[in-house]
Amino acid sequence: MSFDSLTFVAFFAAVLVLHRALPWRAGRIALLVASYVFYGTANPWHCLLLLAATAINFAAARRIEATADDRGRKALLAASLIASLGLLGAFKYGAFAAVSLNAVLGALGIAAVPVPGWALPIGISFYTFQTLSYTLDVYWGKERATRSFTDLALYAAFFPQLVAGPIERFGKLMPQLREKRLPGPGDMEAGFQRILWGLVKKTVVADRLGVFVDQVYAAPGAASSPALLVATVCFGLQVYMDFSGYCDIAIGSARMMGVSLTENFRWPMLSRNPIDLWSRWHITLSTWFRDYLFTALVGRRRPGTPRRLLNLVIVLTLMGLWHGPAWHFVLCGLAVGLAVAAYEGVYLVTGRSRAKPLFGRGWLSAALAVSLMNLFTLVLVLLFRSPSLADVRAVVSGLCCGSWSFDPVVAVYGVAAVLLWAICVATGLLSGETRKELPLAAPLRAVLWFALLLALLYGAVDTHQQFIYFQF
């Protein structure tokens, strides 16, 4: 069930009525059932995987907390990690691993192994990481293991953020789901307005940009250099509007049920360095890798040490692989890892204090840093969008050696992309790089809602496009 469908509108309206009407003992069960219904509309059998991930981590956390022996605790944690990541690996990376292995076996003259043909369960990466974080927090003593399977099942399956995040921590989300929270009129209005913004960003902006991007990237070898350049810029804006739009709808929907979800974006186009980028883009994923993988590998080593730099590259490469079973995602993560390691390495070599930005603190220095980061982001976007390494080579070749013929359609999208980017930058600067809610009077809010609804009715594209992060 997609957020931008009439089916979801009817579903969410029914959930809100039940949330208000039922006592919370029954309301929690109804919300859990509704979350599984929401997830099962894509493929009912995939609900079994969600249930399995929940059961594995529920049992592991209980046993870990009850075990005093350190070796036994480590064995239980390892079993939980193997089982959870095994499900993720089999269903998401099984075919990729088999194809890659067959390429090696073919070169050695060895018979190929079968390639799995099962469909990728939507959101499996998100709920796997979310349930794993619970078990790891119990192991490290940050959380107590819950005695209620319903608690953990609701935490894992809460439908607003189930499919594509934000990736929530047990200690933040679960207390909000243990008791009934009725939002006030201000929360209802703010949540509804957030949903409208998310729908406009997805259906009016992202999907419209996607039509042009898909046309160009379908045959990059036949496209002109300006078309490839504009399409790459447009895709960067498309994926931001698409994913942040999803998060807006998720956060708005949860708020209308009295639940606060974590912000997942903080104006990434204002990033000044590679590290800053990951404090602004998909924040809950980058902090997950930082807290549960990078910190475990690095410990308390000071910034700039060789092992820390190597682990940065490894972790960010794995973050690229998290996005999908393809080598261009691995290359994208590797590029980010090398950039972050190089940025930290400068401080190591020069002995410069990390309190002093490399480009200084003036507005001109900041503008230069932001411009360089946006250029670097274009490289990441190119790697992210190209479905294979052959397409990466075709796009790079077209950008460097393609024709520069004029196309009015490309020019229109180019102007639109520049204006949209400028609006995002200006809005981020004016809001202090946070998401402040403007205290609009009721008549102005009504006008804003009416304008957003008109944009949805008359500006949305005719062809429905799936949210980009559903594939991860």
At 136 the pLDDT is 94
Torsion from C-alpha of 18, 22, 23, 24, nearest 10 degrees: -20
At 345 the pLDDT is 78
Tokens of 356: 């002093």
Eight-class DSSP state of 356? S
* Measured CA angle at 58 (ends 57, 59), to 5 deg: 90
Bigger pLDDT: 298 vs 252: 252
At 366 the pLDDT is 78
- Please write the tens of the pLDDT for every residue from 380-397: 888 888 888 888 888 888
Across the range 53-68, mean pLDDT stands at 92
Across the range 42-53, mean pLDDT stands at 91
With a pLDDT cut of 70, the percent of the chain lying above it is 91
pLDDT > 80? residue 131: yes
Q: What φ, ψ does residue 431 adopt, rounded to 5°?
A: -90, 5
At 95 the pLDDT is 75
At 32 the pLDDT is 94
| This prediction's pTM | 0.88
86-95, 219-228, 395-404, 447-456: least confident range? 447-456
Closest among 356, 351, 353, 315 to 336, alpha carbons compared:
315
Across the range 279-283, mean pLDDT stands at 88
Closest among 117, 58, 129 to 87, alpha carbons compared:
129
At 406 the pLDDT is 77
- Please write the tens of the pLDDT for every residue from 266-278: 888 888 888 888 8
Beta carbons of 126 and 167 less than 8 angstroms apart = yes
pLDDT > 60? residue 301: no
pLDDT > 80? residue 41: yes
d(CA 403, CA 2): 40
Closest among 237, 193, 246 to 212, alpha carbons compared:
237
pLDDT > 70? residue 358: no
- Please write the tens of the pLDDT for every residue from 393-449: 888 888 888 788 878 888 998 899 899 888 888 877 776 655 555 556 666 767 777
At 262 the pLDDT is 92
At 248 the pLDDT is 92
| Banded model confidence at residue 254, pLDDT cuts 50, 70, 90 | very high
d(CA 95, CA 255): 38
At 224 the pLDDT is 86
Tokens of 148: 């209620």
Across the range 455-459, mean pLDDT stands at 77
Across the range 321-347, mean pLDDT stands at 86
pLDDT > 90? residue 189: no
With b for 16 or more beta-carbon neighbours within 10 A and e for fewer, the 369-406 pattern comes to: bbeebbebbbebbbbbbbeeeebbebbbebbeebeeee
User: What angle in degrees, to the nearest 10, is found between the helix axes of 306-322 and 327-350?
Assistant: 160
124 Cβ neighbours under 8 A, 6+ residues apart: 46, 49, 87, 88, 91, 92
379 Cβ neighbours under 8 A, 6+ residues apart: 335
AA identity, residue 355:
A
At 190 the pLDDT is 86
Tokens of 103: 């390429």
- Please write the tens of the pLDDT for every residue from 226-242: 889 999 999 999 999 99
6-10, 30-34, 449-453: least confident range? 449-453
At 260 the pLDDT is 92
Q: How large is the greatest C-alpha to C-alpha distance in the chain, in angstroms? A: 73
pLDDT > 70? residue 362: no
Across the range 23-32, mean pLDDT stands at 90
Q: Indicate if 282 belongs to the active site.
A: no
At 97 the pLDDT is 77
153 Cβ neighbours under 8 A, 6+ residues apart: 32, 51, 54, 58
* DSSP line for 244-286: HHHHHHHHHHHHTTT-PPPP--S-GGG--SHHHHTTTSSHHHH
CA distance readout (Å), 273 to 280, 287, 304, 365: 11, 17, 16, 12
Across the range 285-298, mean pLDDT stands at 83
Across the range 324-329, mean pLDDT stands at 84
At 185 the pLDDT is 85
At 435 the pLDDT is 53
Given 46, 282, 323, 328, the catalytic residue: 323
Tell me the pLDDT of the chain averaged across its residues. Answer: 85
At 359 the pLDDT is 62
d(CA 3, CA 24): 25
